[in-house]
Amino acid sequence: MNIIYLSAVCSQDRFDKLVLEKKITKMPQAQKYHHLLLVGLRKATDDFITVISSYPITGGSKRHFEQETEQESGINYIYPAFIRFPFIRQLQLWINTIRLISIHAKKKNSIIVCDVLNGSVCYAARFLRFFKKIKIVGIVTDVPGLTSGARNKLLPWWKRTIRKIIIDTTKNSVHKCDAYLLLTQAMNDVVNPKKMPYIVIEGHSDIAMADRGNKLESKNEHKTIMYAGGIHKEFGIALLVESFIALNNSEWELHIYGDGNYQKELTIISKEHTNLKYFGMRPNAEIIEAQMKACLMVNPRISNAEYIKYSFPSKTLECMVSGTPLLTTKLAGMPKDYYPYVYLFEEETEEGFKKALREVFSLSSEELHEKGTMAKDFALNNKNNVKQAQLFYSFLKQL
């Protein structure tokens, strides 16, 4: 099989460099998800994998980007040329992606795997299908129009208007794939009205973490609870901060990584409280190191929003595979077989958050470490990216 993978994913070395240079200023959830799946596919099969990537650039003064190619972990990445200017960039990516797909789809048994949230490359694949019989498998990590919308609040009105038009167009495009990879069963009712073949794989953990030992003696000198992800009020981060501050526990520090609509307020609050530290955007390798040194990871995502049942937060498995225990809300997209391996917020109120934090803070370092070890074993044995990629590859072969 010749797999042509369309997404905004790029090599991890390139992504980390762009983060350090502040040319990417958003948290790398999509990068993490697609990169792990690609590495898993490469290890699960000897098939040729070509990635045509519209990787994001949000900073820097450079406007004109020539086509580039590189190889990492046996995966071939191609970055189409474009001029960074509204609409012109999308048009050029569309045209150049059509050209690149045409070249690489000449091989027998070609199949397109496409991130449906990436409009330019997805439309290119659909356009080419008019002239060449080739199947498109859509990866749906979020349902267009059924997300928190938190990041939109940071945009000016005219950009929000454009974003709404794009979302409405993407909704229509999502329904036109030949098969789907979904993160939750609930997604199928929304994105797959034509009842096309689909597989549900809620996420994947990094099998490379099997070689990374999480040791008690390597923990931060000050007991640390850590959050890494979108810094949005809608994600429960403000409620977490308020609850942590209200406990006034001098033995613990709260470390937060990421960006979002709460970051300005968080920056001010962190200057007023010495045990609350905000680090902003950092490379993935640095995030992992911080996870290993923390005593507790936390995901305060509020679970009563409609969009929650259509998503599975990738940070759940990312936290679990670090070997540091996770305290999380009961997210609808998280299967209940995860429950024994995590700590849970029973109530999503300030009192509920404070109660859960008190209970976890009362545990010994050894008890916390044992819970984290159990979670890591579960994530590696059942949800590693090679095992999940093998499931996906078997699905592709049946199409």
Domain boundaries, the chain: 2-204+384-397, 207-382
Contacts of 300 (CB under 8 A, 6+ apart): 227, 235, 236, 237, 239, 240, 328, 329, 345, 353
- Residue 16's pLDDT band (cuts 50, 70, 90): confident
pLDDT in tens, 181-216: 999 888 898 889 899 999 999 889 999 999 998 999
Residue from 183, 343, 318, 325 nearest 257 by CA? 318
Do 2-204+384-397 and 207-382 agree at the fold level? Answer: yes
Give the count of alpha carbons within 13 A of 191, CB side only: 34
What's at 11, amino acid-wise? S
CATH number attached to the domain at 2-204+384-397: 3.40.50.2000
- Residue 149's pLDDT band (cuts 50, 70, 90): very low
Using DSSP, state whether 56 is helix, strand or coil.
coil
CA distances from 253 to 132, 256, 333 (A): 57, 10, 29
Contacts of residues 393-398 at CB distance under 8 Å and 24 or more positions apart, as own/partner, are 393/41, 393/44, 393/45, 393/47, 395/179, 395/181, 395/197, 395/199, 396/1, 396/3, 396/111, 396/113, 396/137, 397/1, 398/197
Q: Could you tell me if 199 and 314 are in contact, meaning their C-beta atoms sit under 8 angstroms apart?
A: no
CA dist., res. 7 & res. 84, Å (int)? 18
Sheet holding 252-257, edge to edge: 276-280, 252-257, 223-228, 296-299, 326-328, 343-344
pLDDT exceeds 90 at position 308: no
Q: Which two tokens stand for residue 298?
A: 């936390």
pLDDT exceeds 70 at position 313: no
> Regarding the domain with residue range 207-382, which homologous superfamily does it belong to in the CATH classification?
Glycogen Phosphorylase B; (3.40.50.2000)
What are 99's strand-pairing partners? none
Q: Which of 88-102, 166-180, 257-271 has the lowest mean pLDDT?
A: 166-180
Q: Which two tokens stand for residue 319?
A: 């936290």
- Residue 150's pLDDT band (cuts 50, 70, 90): very low
E strand or H helix at 179, and its extent?
strand 179-182
Length of the chain: 399
In the block, tokens 């694949």 appear at 125
Q: What's the pLDDT at 123?
A: 85
- Residue 228's pLDDT band (cuts 50, 70, 90): very high
Contacts of 122 (CB under 8 A, 6+ apart): 6, 114, 115, 116, 138, 170, 173
99 CB burial (10 A radius; 0-12, 13-18, 19+): middle
In the block, tokens 């000897």 appear at 46
| pTM of the shown model | 0.85
109 torsion bin: left (phi>0), alpha (psi -120 to 50), beta (else): left
pLDDT exceeds 80 at position 115: yes
